[in-house]
Structure 1
Amino acid sequence: MSRVLVAVMPFTGHVAPFRAVVRELVSRGHDVRVYTGEAFRAGFEALGARVLPWTEAPDFDENDLSATFPALRGRPGPRQLLANLEQLFLRTGVGQHRDLVAAWRSEPWDVLLGDALSTGASLVAETTGCRWASLSVVPLSIPSRDLPPAGLRLRPHHTAVGGARDAALRFLVNVAGAPLQRAYQQVRAGVQLPPTDRPFYLAWLSPQLLLALGSPALDYGRSDPPPNLVYVGAIPATSDAPLPDWWGQVASSTRPVVYVTQGTQNVDPTHLLEPALAALSARNVLVVASTGIRGRTRLPFSVPAGTRVADFVPQDRLMPFTSVMITNGGWGGVLGALSAGVPLVVAGGDLDKPDIAARVAYARAGIDLRTGRPNAAQVLAAYDRLTAEPAFRATARRLGTELRDLGGAPRIADEVERLAAA
């Protein structure tokens, strides 16, 4: 038995895959503690883990971030990404470090499994020298000599001109990211660690073991991957909530089932749900729509007769019945769909979602709408093309086989055990 400390950022999209990993580790007899937000305590304790809540670090409501971080208010698009990185992920690192150092002094662990966006995990690993694995539940944004910078919705162009473009963009992104690097240095000073030349986005990642949801086919095929990188496939989202009373209509439907979701961040239903439901009302399909907010099962607009609405739907239960998924591009949801061989229409608006949409289109497993706020005509055209061209579904099924073969939560547990025993 090993003592495992799991540090996960308190967002539903991060917690969901980590819950599957914690369940696997606990089932193997390991003593697991989880450092995360208070809102997720009950879910982890139900698995048999102990929970260390954010205390010195400012805990927050993921559906009202500006209440805790006023600097996030009124910053759409790329400005939101930069503000989120600084306020949520970097500057909370001082408080995370204090919480984790206190936990280490009280009860040291054998191995730390940290969210690859947890600054606190990287800082406490450096402070204590403990064994440390990172798990990236978002697409890897590690720079590569072969690729454009992440987050720009750009696909690689393997030509001399494309290489020159990407090199210039990498330089410009580093310049634009200088304030974030300064913030990281200030965080390091705040926990009495010396300055470093290592970029903050690499310092988050363990040099011992880097685990990543996804597969090589969804990472553009870089020639310079980190030597400690292990792709672990997909962990389909699950839910302990009871199935909605209309679930039998899904299981017995003779019409194609289309799943529409905006994930759990930026969930204004007028951005994607409203135009998608309007578009699909013109087709003979059964639509399942999720709002992404616990307890919210109604939408602020007229819902077509062929639509069923829930707050959350267990994706692992829904995907076997699903023909197409229309999504704003959360990585976990995208991987869950692809692991079931379901092709996608992706409306990625901000944060990492434009990059995810571009990856799906590059792999030919779906269509990138190239906006987070499409109109009904755009959604309908994408849906019609997706269902008319069999190549999209064939590619999704091939990617699904690859993602399943990479192992998911059991593979992650295997790798953590190997590191703990090293």
Structure 2
Amino acid sequence: MGRILFVVPPLAGHVYPAVGIAGELTDRGHEVAIAGHASVVRPLVPAPLRLVELPEEITSGERAEIEEKSRRQRGTGSFKFLWEDFLLPLGTAMARDLEPVVDDFRPDIVVVDQQAVGGALLARRRRLRWVTLATTSAEFDNPYGVMAAVGQWVDDRLREFQLASGVPAEEAGRGDLRFSDLLTLVCSVTELLRMPDAVAALPPGTVFIGSGAGLRQPLADFPWSWLDPARAKVLVSLGTVTRETGGRFLRVAAEALAGMTGQVQTIIVAPPGIVDDLAAAAPADVLVRDKVPQLELMGHLSAVVCHAGNNTVCEALSQGVPLVVAPVRDDQPMIAEQVTRAGAGLRVRFGLVNAAGVAAAVASVLDDPAYRSAARRLRDDFASAGGVAAGAAHIEKLLP
């Protein structure tokens, strides 16, 4: 059996797929640990997985300030802010803080989130065998097709990052920290890419495993008996990042779906500052919670309204559930484009759509069978990709 260390950034959406694959490897008898920042990661790592806590580099107030600055960015400014103000400083700290973790755990393989570049840097510097875990397919769908200069900008920053950390110039120029030379696991399917036939041009060792859904913290408190098998059910969720700034959208969605009572039951996931207000105003056909067992719910749903986060999109499509997507930033517009291009959903404008617009989009996705047919075709593609079991199997092949 092997010793496998997962390295994750303090971003909940990136932790879930790592936990899913780590749980699968643990079930297969391997010794597995997840290294990350406890303030974000601990609530997401269930027993029996081991969490190795990294030092908290920033306070909760500083994190809130970074998030607020991020929300004010748009376009390439948002992209550059993500790298310059968050990912690269985080990478420097993680490369340092992972040194004693590696010395103590002595991993056979390190599985590094694609945005935890400090983990990849340390693995390269220490000559460790490492795997990239890409929790979104954005980097594999021609993201810089009309913005080649932006792609070059990222390449240059990553090269400078390696040089400043002691990686020889020749090696820094040859390897990209976002892509392991051995294996890159992508949480998606090739059928969602702009040009599925171009997979052969992707970095060697790139494998699409479908959804990263797997082991999660259990949620016991959900009123399953409330679900009416005779009615359509719609989930509204803005994920773990966007929902903190999504109050307007959630209220619009609640108004839209409250007007569909009698035909539709709606489950809305809302953050603490909004959940009570929405719940107080909700009719009997609308359930508002701060958390839901999303994976277990998917099999009951007729549609999902979300921010086009890759995890939620893949979880829905892997169950054949069509979507209404309202992307905000980062990779979300690209994931939304994948959904609409595949015919598996409709897109609405996060900051501008009104209740009538949301209601019309949801009605179309529910009433037009073409959307569900497309989602079900993709469900078969996700099933063929293998999910976390396939990810674990590919990692096992690299063990000594």
Task: Report the TM-score, using the length of structure 2 for normalisation.
Answer: 0.89
Of residues 272, 288, 292, the one that matches 1:309 is 288
Displacement of 1:16 after TM fit? Answer: 1.4
CA distance in structure 1 between the aligned counterparts of 2:13 and 2:338, rounded to whole angstroms: 19
Question: Is residue 305–residue 325 contact of structure 2 (8 Å, CA) maintained in 1?
Answer: yes
Bigger CA drift: 183-192 or 2-11? 183-192
Q: Which has the higher helix share?
A: 2
Find the residue that maps to 2:51 and give its secondary structure: strand
Match of 2:221 in 1: 243
Find the residue that maps to 1:192 and give its secondary structure: coil
CA distance in structure 2 between the aligned counterparts of 1:311 and 1:200, rounded to whole angstroms: 46
Deviations 1:294-317 (A, max 9, x none): 797424686330211111211221
Deviations 1:28-73 (A, max 9, x none): 11111211111323653x4333322222x62565x97334678547
Displacement of 1:335 after TM fit? Answer: 0.5
Match of 1:33 in 2: 33
Displacement of 1:288 after TM fit? Answer: 0.1
Match of 2:97 in 1: 99
Of residues 351, 354, 362, the one that matches 2:330 is 351
1:377-396, aligned counterparts within 5 Å? 377-396=356-375
Of residues 127, 130, 133, the one that matches 1:129 is 127
Question: Is residue 44–residue 217 contact of structure 2 (8 Å, CA) maintained in 1?
Answer: no
Find the residue that maps to 2:106 and give its secondary structure: coil
Pick closer, same or farther for the CA change 1:338–1:199 going to 2, 3 Å: farther
Pick closer, same or farther for the CA change 1:73–1:405 going to 2, 3 Å: closer
Displacement of 1:181 after TM fit? Answer: 4.8
Find the residue that maps to 1:258 and give its secondary structure: strand
Gaps of at least 5 residues in structure 1 are 151-165
CA distance in structure 2 between the aligned counterparts of 1:81 and 1:66, rounded to whole angstroms: 18
Q: Kindly report the root-mean-square deviation, in angstroms, between the aligned alpha carbons of the 2 structures.
A: 2.7
CA distance in structure 1 between the aligned counterparts of 2:123 and 2:340, rounded to whole angstroms: 37
1:22-421, aligned counterparts within 5 Å? 22-39=22-39, 40-41=41-42, 43-44=44-45, 46-55=46-55, 58=57, 65-67=63-65, 72=70, 74-76=72-74, 78-142=76-140, 147=142, 149=143, 166=145, 169-174=146-151, 178=153, 180-181=154-155, 183-195=157-169, 202-220=176-194, 221-223=196-198, 224-236=201-213, 238-244=216-222, 246-250=223-227, 252-267=228-243, 268-283=245-260, 284-291=263-270, 293=271, 297-299=275-277, 303-305=281-283, 306-421=285-400
CA distance in structure 1 between the aligned counterparts of 2:273 and 2:393, rounded to whole angstroms: 36
Find the residue that maps to 2:288 and give its secondary structure: strand
Find the residue that maps to 2:167 and give its secondary structure: coil
Pick closer, same or farther for the CA change 1:384–1:183 going to 2, 3 Å: same
Find the residue that maps to 2:42 and give its secondary structure: helix
Bigger CA drift: 68-77 or 329-338? 68-77
Question: Is residue 54–residue 98 contact of structure 2 (8 Å, CA) maintained in 1?
Answer: no
Q: Does 1:16 align with 2:30?
A: no
CA distance in structure 2 between the aligned counterparts of 1:48 and 1:386, rounded to whole angstroms: 40
Displacement of 1:171 after TM fit? Answer: 2.7
Question: Is residue 3–residue 109 contact of structure 1 (8 Å, CA) maintained in 2?
Answer: yes
Question: Is residue 7–residue 34 contact of structure 1 (8 Å, CA) maintained in 2?
Answer: yes
CA distance in structure 2 between the aligned counterparts of 1:71 and 1:197, rounded to whole angstroms: 34
Find the residue that maps to 1:321 and give its secondary structure: coil
CA distance in structure 2 between the aligned counterparts of 1:60 and 1:233, rounded to whole angstroms: 35
Displacement of 1:271 after TM fit? Answer: 3.8
Pick closer, same or farther for the CA change 1:259–1:72 going to 2, 3 Å: closer
CA distance in structure 2 between the aligned counterparts of 1:200 and 1:288, rounded to whole angstroms: 48
Match of 1:162 in 2: none
Question: Is residue 66–residue 72 contact of structure 1 (8 Å, CA) maintained in 2?
Answer: no
Pick closer, same or farther for the CA change 1:355–1:372 going to 2, 3 Å: farther
Deviations 1:254-311 (A, max 9, x none): 22111101111122233421111111122131110012x4797424686330211111
Question: Is residue 91–residue 183 contact of structure 1 (8 Å, CA) maintained in 2?
Answer: no
CA distance in structure 1 between the aligned counterparts of 2:163 and 2:277, rounded to whole angstroms: 47
Bigger CA drift: 63-72 or 126-135? 63-72
CA distance in structure 1 between the aligned counterparts of 2:75 and 2:29, rounded to whole angstroms: 44
Find the residue that maps to 1:342 and give its secondary structure: coil
2:81 partner letter: A
Work out the number of aligned pairs and report it: 391
Match of 1:154 in 2: none
Find the residue that maps to 2:112 and give its secondary structure: strand
Match of 1:157 in 2: none
1:206 partner letter: S
Task: Report the TM-score, using the length of structure 1 for normalisation.
Answer: 0.84
CA distance in structure 1 between the aligned counterparts of 2:308 and 2:43, rounded to whole angstroms: 27
Question: Is residue 6–residue 35 contact of structure 1 (8 Å, CA) maintained in 2?
Answer: yes
1:261 partner letter: S
CA distance in structure 2 between the aligned counterparts of 1:192 and 1:319, rounded to whole angstroms: 47
1:303 partner letter: A
Displacement of 1:89 after TM fit? Answer: 1.4
Bigger CA drift: 273-282 or 217-226? 217-226
1:409 partner letter: V
Find the residue that maps to 1:260 and give its secondary structure: strand
Find the residue that maps to 1:141 and give its secondary structure: helix
Find the residue that maps to 2:231 and give its secondary structure: coil
Bigger CA drift: 352-361 or 253-262? 253-262
